[in-house]
Amino acid sequence: VQLQASGGGLVQAGGSLRLSCAVSGTERSFSVYAAGWLRQAPGKEREFVGSISRGAIQTYYEDFAKGRFTISRDNAKSTVYLQMNNLRPEDTAVYYCAADRGTAQDMKFNPERIDYRGKGTLVTVSS
């Protein structure tokens, strides 16, 4: 399974970015996988950002992402998105997309067990 994230870059505090992640090589249709995003800031451990259920009915977010970040997906394009608004310098990190055969809730509460993770894209927020 390949997950290719894109859309990272340098942005000023208060700005916005939209990350995309194209998923390919799954043994079944992308629509049967939960999907989401993780991030790892310099010198810190990887952490959960948010996840979305297979049919995009449910979303889960870490507290720092609530109200600022929005996850969406397009199953026809096998793509998951992360819209990030009102970015802060502390959001600087490498962002990784992820997919799981379980549920979006599983991804939030057991991120260490996520089945598939892609290569990340760097987001840098300047103050």
Closest CA to 50 of 9, 90, 107, 89: 107
Phi and psi, residue 74, nearest 5°:
-125, 100
**Residue 112 DSSP code:** G
Distance separating alpha carbons of residues 41 and 50, to the nearest angstrom: 16
**What pLDDT, in 10s, does the model give residues 44-70?**
999 999 999 999 999 999 999 999 999
Q: Which of 7-16, 21-30, 58-67, 94-103 has the lowest mean pLDDT?
A: 21-30
Tokens of 46: 């990887």
